[in-house]
């Protein structure tokens, strides 16, 4: 197999532009002799909190753990209890739902909005029962899934708003950054995310000091101080080599967002094939375009055509959580928009390996996709 002319994502190439700085950051940690916690971790946490506009940030081992720790911390604080219902979008990556069921909470799936591909805010209130205690909103593909209507519904029913911000670092809505919109937010720095580590990493942001303290304790064996365990905790701490690399990456976040927005603008204006539905642009466009997702009727044919023309694509996601084998208990649910999206979505290249000229050429190739 030869490499495609337009790769979907090449992580080594993405990191090549800052390779010597990344190596120096990793070496700084190796030289320091401090391999868990320490100055790099606390510096990154401060920088992330400042970036997101939240008083507190706590590093975690990965994004799924960030979500799990938020939910378990709310349980430890008495704000949630096992069996409580949590509103989740049908159209999401499975990690969102895994965190809910792992905490002994019950996910209540709400279908997607065909225009935003995010949770359909207008369907949330009908899904609320007396057992509902939180909305876990997911800024999928980098697009903020938060609006005044969601905030009003949450307030009316005394619900927590928890953000799954794995895909949307730097996005903005309602004059705030994602991560600062709700009561708490989970970040992922999985290598393919907009700000990616050199391995697994995650974080929690919040304005609630007791939540931040509880997340930090739970992530460190449940201890509030050395050899003093107040919770039955876990081990999910941010690795200092990752923290040192992420400090570098975070300093480029605004540039990364601008680059992705430029590519999205090119796709928006240059793709004109009526067989291809483009994402609806928000107004204002708060998205950080983690993915540029188009929809087509015959996905296999479209992807095969693009591959034959040197354009690598991906699918996020072909099987939604409620259709996964592990969640057969939710397979009976009717989520028609989520199911339709799962059959139609295709993600186009939008990484740092894609230049504006590449995006124009990819748009030309898409415009030549034949209707036969
Ligand atoms: C990546 C991702 C996660 C999980 O993050 P990890 O760091 O891979 O554990 C959670 N939710 C969404 C929406 C994601 O895209």
* Predicted confidence band of residue 282 (pLDDT cuts 50, 70, 90): confident
Q: Domain range holding 321?
A: 253-367
pLDDT for res 283 = 73
User: Among 137, 165, 167, 185, which is best to mutate for testing ligand 1, by the most ligand atoms less than 8 A from CB?
Assistant: 167
Cβ atoms 189, 160 nearer than 8 A: no
Cβ atoms 185, 178 nearer than 8 A: yes
For CA atoms 290, 295, 296, 297, the dihedral sign is positive
pLDDT for res 11 = 95
Mean pLDDT across the stretch 222-232? 95
Same-domain status, 192 and 327:
no
pLDDT for res 174 = 85
Residue nearest to atom 2 of ligand 1 (CA): 166
Q: Is the pLDDT of residue 281 over 90?
A: no
pLDDT in tens, 306-324: 999 999 999 999 999 999 9
5 inside domain: no
Q: State what percent of residues in the chain have pLDDT above 90.
A: 97
131 inside domain: yes
Same-domain status, 278 and 154:
no
Same-domain status, 34 and 160:
yes
pLDDT for res 177 = 97
1 inside domain: no
Same-domain status, 331 and 207:
no
pLDDT in tens, 335-372: 999 999 999 999 999 999 999 999 999 999 999 999 87
Same-domain status, 267 and 325:
yes
256 alpha carbon to ligand 1 midpoint, in Å? 19
Same-domain status, 262 and 362:
yes
For CA atoms 63, 124, 314, 6, the dihedral sign is negative
pLDDT for res 1 = 53
363 CB-contact burial (10 Å; exposed 0-12 / middle 13-18 / buried 19+): buried
Mean pLDDT across the stretch 237-253? 98
Q: How far is CA 310 from the centre of its chain?
A: 28
C-alpha distances (whole Å) from 294 to each of 63, 117, 141, 169 are 26, 10, 11, 21
- Radius of gyration of the chain measured on its C-alpha atoms: 21
pLDDT in tens, 89-118: 999 999 999 999 999 999 999 999 999 999
Same-domain status, 281 and 299:
yes
For helices 19-32 and 39-52, what crossing angle results, to 10°?
A: 130
Q: Is the pLDDT of residue 201 over 70?
A: yes
Residue nearest to atom 14 of ligand 1 (CA): 166
Same-domain status, 25 and 106:
yes
∠ CA 282-283-288, nearest 5°, is 50
C-alpha distances (whole Å) from 360 to each of 175, 257, 368 are 31, 19, 13
pLDDT for res 39 = 97
User: Among 166, 242, 290, which is best to mutate for testing ligand 1, by the most ligand atoms less than 8 A from CB?
Assistant: 166
Structural domains counted in the chain:
2
pLDDT for res 94 = 98
* Predicted confidence band of residue 284 (pLDDT cuts 50, 70, 90): confident
Average pLDDT, the chain: 97
∠ CA 322-328-330, nearest 5°, is 45
pLDDT for res 99 = 98
| Neighbouring residues of 184: CB distance < 8 A, sequence distance ≥ 6 | 70, 74, 160, 162, 163, 204, 205, 206, 208, 211
CATH number, domain of 211, equals 3.40.640.10
Same-domain status, 175 and 284:
no
Q: In terms of Cα–Cα distance, which of 315, 311, 313 is closest to 364?
A: 311
Same-domain status, 16 and 163:
yes
* Predicted confidence band of residue 297 (pLDDT cuts 50, 70, 90): very high
68 alpha carbon to ligand 1 midpoint, in Å? 11
User: Whole-angstrom Cα distance, residue 80 to residue 71?
Assistant: 8
pLDDT for res 342 = 98
58 inside domain: yes
pLDDT in tens, 26-48: 999 999 999 999 999 999 999 99
Q: Is the pLDDT of residue 122 over 70?
A: yes
Q: List ligand 1's pocket residues with C-beta within 6 A.
A: 62-64, 92-93, 95-96, 138, 164, 166-167, 188, 190, 200, 202
Same-domain status, 30 and 160:
yes
User: Among 11, 60, 67, 95, which is best to mutate for testing ligand 1, by the most ligand atoms less than 8 A from CB?
Assistant: 95
Same-domain status, 269 and 125:
no
283 CB-contact burial (10 Å; exposed 0-12 / middle 13-18 / buried 19+): exposed
C-alpha distances (whole Å) from 229 to each of 218, 234, 261, 295 are 9, 11, 46, 50
């Amino acid at each position: 197999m030869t490499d495609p002319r337009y790769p979907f994502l090449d992580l080594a190439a993405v990191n090549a532009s800052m390779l010597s700085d990344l190596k120096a950051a990793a070496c700084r940690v190796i030289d320091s002799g401090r391999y868990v916690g320490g100055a790099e971790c606390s510096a990154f946490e401060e920088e992330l909190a400042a970036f997101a506009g939240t008083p507190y940030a706590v590093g975690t081992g990965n994004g799924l753990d960030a979500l799990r720790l938020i939910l378990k911390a709310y349980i430890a604080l008495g704000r949630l209890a096992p069996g409580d219902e949590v509103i989740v979008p049908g159209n999401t990556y499975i990690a969102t739902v895994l965190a809910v069921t792992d905490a002994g909470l019950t996910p209540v799936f709400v279908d997607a909005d065909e225009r935003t591909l995010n949770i359909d805010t207008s369907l949330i209130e009908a899904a609320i029962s007396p057992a509902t205690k939180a909305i876990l909103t997911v800024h999928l593909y980098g697009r903020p899934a938060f609006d005044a209507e969601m905030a009003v519904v949450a307030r009316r029913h005394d619900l927590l708003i928890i953000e799954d911000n794995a895909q949307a670092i730097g996005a903005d809505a309602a004059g705030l950054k994602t991560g600062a919109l709700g009561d708490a937010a989970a970040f992922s720095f999985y290598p393919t995310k907009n700000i990616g580590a050199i391995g697994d990493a995650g974080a929690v942001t919040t304005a609630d000091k007791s939540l931040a303290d509880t997340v930090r304790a739970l992530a460190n064996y449940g201890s509030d101080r050395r050899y003093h365990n107040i919770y039955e905790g876990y081990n999910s701490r941010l690795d200092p080599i990752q923290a040192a690399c992420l400090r570098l990456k975070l300093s480029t976040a605004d540039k990364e967002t601008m680059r992705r927005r430029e590519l999205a603008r090119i796709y928006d204006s240059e793709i004109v094939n009526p067989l291809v539905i483009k994402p609806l642009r928000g107004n204002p466009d708060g998205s950080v375009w983690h993915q540029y997702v188009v929809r087509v009727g015959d996905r296999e044919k479209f992807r095969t055509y693009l591959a034959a023309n040197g354009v690598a694509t991906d699918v996020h996601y072909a099987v939604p959580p409620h259709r996964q084998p592990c969640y057969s208990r939710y397979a009976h649910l009717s989520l028609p928009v989520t199911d339709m999206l799962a059959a139609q979505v295709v993600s186009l290249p939008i990484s740092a390996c894609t230049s504006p000229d590449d995006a124009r050429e990819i748009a030309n190739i898409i415009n030549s996709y034949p209707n036969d």
